[in-house]
Structure 1
Amino acid sequence: MVRATFSGFNTALSALQANQKRLDITGQNLSNMNTAGYTRQQLEASSLNYTNPVSHYSNGNETAVGFGVSMDRVSQIRDPYLDIQYRSQSADCSYTNRLQTALNSLSKVLDETTISGIRQAFDDIQSTLTSMQDPAKVSDPIYESELRTKMQSVCNLFNQASRQITQAEQNEFQRLTGEGSSEQGDVQKINDILRQIGDLNVQIKRNQVAGHPSLELQDERNLLLDELSGYIPVETRYYKDDAHSGNNAYDYDANGAVIGKKDWPDDLEVSMNYIDAQGKSQKLILVNGSDLGADGLTKNYGQLSVLKGDHQTAASVSDPANISIKFEKAPSYKGNGQAAADVYAELKGIHFEGGSLQASLDMLQKTGTGNVINGSTAVDDVRGYQYYSGKLDQLALTFAESMNAINNGKNHKDQNLLSNSTNDSTKDITAGNIGISKGWTSGTIHISTDGTNRTDTILDMIAAMKDTKKLNGKTFADYMNNLSTQLASDSSSNQTALKTGTTVLNSIQDSRDSLSGVSLDEEATNMMAYVSAYNAASRLMTALDEVLNTLISNTGA
């Protein structure tokens, strides 16, 4: 068979075009080397060859040669497995990081290693009581005033610690909801991310139907998915359009607009992984690909809202522990023909195995009992704000009851030294309201001198300061010291977990960067290779032109 006259030119032309495209892609990679979230791009190519059998008129000894290179598509160099690993680890790290933020705020209140706090105030009271053992000093107003001042000091410290824990608890609520803050809370940020991913899904799908790969939009979407994984555990799934008869190449919405081409391109589904109240792993579809429903107006993304435990009333910062996060599935998603049920993240509801949202819920609602939560399979394993405020309340109440009981003695009533400052009663005394009784402040109540000896009340108070029976084997001062130690232990173990998790996360990110990131050296090497290939293809084009010129001009002369 006589060789086709211009067949070689197509080979050279395709080589020129392919290497020019590779140089364009290299330039795009280099220009975005420092762009956050950018994924290195490449040209996928294949060899052009015969698509039909060689003519039966050809010489049997003819050797078939291809027709150059085909530019199939521009794609990203990305490993989905590394993305899965990164997002899973991101949820773990975000959980411990948010937990550490909360523990640090508590440490400012309860860590007394470098400050004179409640523990020191108890020691000062005991020291003053010891100096009043002399019978001549028991009724001395100067010494009684000093004792009252020391008692007032410990009450003030209790009040301050309670206010600070309450403020820390409200700050946690604001981090979760954004209420009362100029910054967005987790719920608002998640809603914003879901909306952006849903919109990007539609935009990417429409662009790909028109033949544009939208790689930069995919980078933007991947960044949002990475960010979302820090709040809640998520899983992504790429899927094809539903099977069809083959008669229609495109899908259309109610308005006649193209919404997808059968079997191409892929859609992205984003689901939330959670554990239900029965302890079973479940999923909720938060982003349903690019599906806008039959009317083209239905949202393809779900949303979150903040409610109280009754699932009806909006939650309030004034009652931060009474909170439930409602997760609504993507409205366009229908599971087995039915709308999937919405779920609630709360103490007795669903919970997550990671994410900053779960950490905030744990700190707000859990009390560290170590027991299985009633109505759920989850364990109350986090010592949150309620745990530490409850311990302070118990200490304040026990101290007040002990001092009042001693001063009242067997024959006196209403000789209370300490009271609930809101109503001057001895009921419902907490760390937040403990104070000096009005009677002791005004001088109508004094340290009792009844008894066999005038110093019996003082001696009993000294004994009470050393007593370990009422607080599980600890004195007042030791109880406070143990509370600080418990917080330090929680913080230390969490810091270790955070440090380990961050190391693993950075390692995974390094692996992603080594694959998907732009390397200056590698791109420069590729550039030189593509330039050389381009020059060679140009030389081939020139050589073919010279051969053809010889064939036409000199043959048959």
Structure 2
Amino acid sequence: MGSTFGGINTALTSLYAQRRGLDVTGQNIANANTEGYSRQRVTMRSLNTNTVPGMYSMSNEAGAGVVVSSVDRLRSAGLDQRSYIEHGTSAYHTERAGSYGLIEEVFAEPSDTALQARLQDLWDGWNAVAMNPGQAAPKAALLEQATTAAASLNDAAASLNNQYTTNRTGLDIRTAEVNKTAAEIAKLNKEIVVATAAGLQPNELADQRGQLMLKLSDMIGATAQTLPNGSMNVYVGNAALVSEFTSQAIEVAPGSATRLEDLATTGVNLRWVDTGLPVNAGGTMGAQMELLSKGGTLDEISGRLDKVAAALAKTVNDLHSTGYSIDGTTGMNLFIAGGGVPAGTPITAANIAVGITDTRQLAVSAGDPTGTPPVLDGSIADSLSDLGASKSGADAEYQSLIGDLGVVAQSSMRRRDIQVSVTEQVDAARDAESGVNLDEEMTNLLTYQRGYEAASRVLTTIDSMLDQLINRTGLVGR
């Protein structure tokens, strides 16, 4: 038979448990707007006086009260894993679409001030010269138009190189950030394992780790595996970035290209520091590697822009060098590789320049104006004006570049939009599982409050009973 005083302890355990429930509910409400916070729930179990029943040690008491067995972090491991994957994919497509958007801004087609319009102005200029081969004004205008076309190619090449440099710097910054985040996860793994072994609930630490893991999935497409001891292994591709309490480092290999023109001799290598093997990056860094690598997006676009410049120079120079200028000069090239590059350097978008500054040196005639008899017919200029319609000229090459770029950019943006929608759905499902619902928390608050009040009433009742027993029993006959 239980002691009369045993009821006090039963009520006391209830007070402790209900207060713990109130504390946890208050913690949930306080962090309702905290990013990455997972709501917590108190799990209670009744205390049984017959915990280890025996033949001669049994009790018929109702129980010994209640105890909080755990404070659970409400989180779906499956949704977390799905979220890491979808966030990495979303970051990849977002970065890729953004890069194509910036490349499209470089060319800004269609526009009255873009390269296509400048090329058309050049062909119109040759047509004006063909109609007035002996006048200096149309030739001066032509030289200005040729200079503008070359400058447009120079500017486009410089913009592509600036985009390369910016992304290359960003790759270095993100590499350092990945290493720092991986080290923090390894540190949190140790703290969580130690806390769990000590019987503590490391819920807030797990939330911090989850946020860092989400950051890694965005940056490098990392995935995770939670171990039975509470630690987490993090993988990039099939290689472990974090293995329990140890993190591995990645680096951009020394000597990697820092400018677009450096890709002709070297590439960009993202590798593991310990093994030197390439990192199979996803997320934002995966898109950056696709953009920066030798043969990658910027390298390909730059190479095709160089083909436009080379086609412009070749087609114009081939015709121009066969003609005669008004002073009888022949064999001159209109476009050259400028910028002080060595002789024989191929013409590219970055170095194309106009090599003629004197209008009298423009070769516009098929005959020699200084010959006998003199011939000044403007037929070379007329032939040059027709190059805009050539299927192998600069215009055709440029239109093919812009067309292909537009298709790929539009496709990348559509894939980004679809992936963002998928990611938002996964995040919504995860938030429904782990996010704080204030209506639910208010209900829990009232439940624990009433439980606390009821336990207090039990304690008051037992106190009254004991007062009756101690102070009023046995007074008869005194």
TM-score (norm 2): 0.88
Q: Is 1:419 equivalent to 2:365 in the alignment?
A: no
Q: Is 1:169 equivalent to 2:164 in the alignment?
A: yes
Q: Is 1:363 equivalent to 2:291 in the alignment?
A: yes
Matched with 1:191 is 179
* Distance in 2, Cα, partners of 1:63 & 1:155: 99
Q: Which runs of 5+ in 2 are unaligned?
A: 368-374
Matched with 1:130 is 127
Residue 461 of structure 1, CA deviation: 1.2
Residue 410 of structure 1, CA deviation: 8.6
Change (3 A) 1:109 1:479: same
* Distance in 2, Cα, partners of 1:226 & 1:160: 39
* Distance in 2, Cα, partners of 1:362 & 1:526: 51
Amino acid at match of 2:114: G
Residue 170 of structure 1, CA deviation: 1.0
Matched with 1:447 is 363
Q: Is 1:235 equivalent to 2:235 in the alignment?
A: no
Change (3 A) 1:425 1:366: closer
Matched with 1:307 is 253
Q: Is 1:399 equivalent to 2:316 in the alignment?
A: no
Q: Is 1:92 equivalent to 2:5 in the alignment?
A: no
Change (3 A) 1:549 1:539: same
Q: Is 1:266 equivalent to 2:230 in the alignment?
A: yes
Matched with 2:353 is 435
Q: SS where residue 457 of structure 1 aligns?
A: helix
Q: Is 1:146 equivalent to 2:141 in the alignment?
A: yes
Q: 1:518 aligns with which of 397, 413, 436?
A: 436
Q: Is 1:465 equivalent to 2:378 in the alignment?
A: no
Change (3 A) 1:513 1:160: same
Q: Is 1:535 equivalent to 2:453 in the alignment?
A: yes
Q: SS where residue 219 of structure 2 aligns?
A: coil
Q: SS where residue 32 of structure 2 aligns?
A: coil
Matched with 1:43 is 42
Change (3 A) 1:516 1:98: same
Query: Is the 1:120–1:477 contact (alpha carbons within 8 Å) kept by the matching residues of 2?
Result: no
* Distance in 2, Cα, partners of 1:504 & 1:53: 55
Matched with 1:384 is 297
Matched with 1:82 is 79
Q: SS where residue 239 of structure 2 aligns?
A: strand
More helix by share: 2
Residue 547 of structure 1, CA deviation: 3.6
Change (3 A) 1:128 1:156: same
* Distance in 2, Cα, partners of 1:537 & 1:106: 69
Amino acid at match of 2:157: S
Amino acid at match of 1:459: D
Q: SS where residue 132 of structure 1 aligns?
A: helix
Query: Is the 2:222–2:235 contact (alpha carbons within 8 Å) kept by the matching residues of 1?
Result: yes
Matched with 1:501 is 419
Change (3 A) 1:268 1:482: same
Amino acid at match of 2:272: F
* Distance in 2, Cα, partners of 1:417 & 1:3: 110
Alignment of 1:305-344 (within 5 A): 305-308=251-254, 313=255, 316-317=258-259, 319=262, 322-328=267-273, 341-344=275-278
Residue 478 of structure 1, CA deviation: 4.3
Change (3 A) 1:391 1:325: same
After superposition, the C-alpha distances for 1:267-313 in whole angstroms (9 at most, x for unaligned) are 222222x2xxxxxxxx22222213xxxxxxxxx211111115xxxx4
* Distance in 2, Cα, partners of 1:443 & 1:366: 42
* Distance in 1, Cα, partners of 2:57 & 2:231: 48
Q: SS where residue 307 of structure 2 aligns?
A: helix
Change (3 A) 1:160 1:550: same
* Distance in 2, Cα, partners of 1:225 & 1:162: 38
* Distance in 2, Cα, partners of 1:14 & 1:397: 86
Amino acid at match of 1:416: N
* Distance in 1, Cα, partners of 2:108 & 2:399: 9
* Distance in 1, Cα, partners of 2:122 & 2:358: 20
Amino acid at match of 1:130: N
* Distance in 1, Cα, partners of 2:57 & 2:216: 64
Q: Is 1:30 equivalent to 2:29 in the alignment?
A: yes
Query: Is the 1:271–1:284 contact (alpha carbons within 8 Å) kept by the matching residues of 2?
Result: yes
Residue 443 of structure 1, CA deviation: 5.7
Deviates more, 1:84-93 or 1:94-103: 94-103
Query: Is the 1:208–1:214 contact (alpha carbons within 8 Å) kept by the matching residues of 2?
Result: yes
Structure with higher Rg: it is 2
Residue 104 of structure 1, CA deviation: 2.0
Query: Is the 2:24–2:41 contact (alpha carbons within 8 Å) kept by the matching residues of 1?
Result: yes
Amino acid at match of 1:133: A
Aligned residues: 459
Amino acid at match of 2:77: P
TM-score (norm 1): 0.76
Amino acid at match of 2:161: T
Change (3 A) 1:328 1:8: farther
Deviates more, 1:224-233 or 1:358-367: 358-367
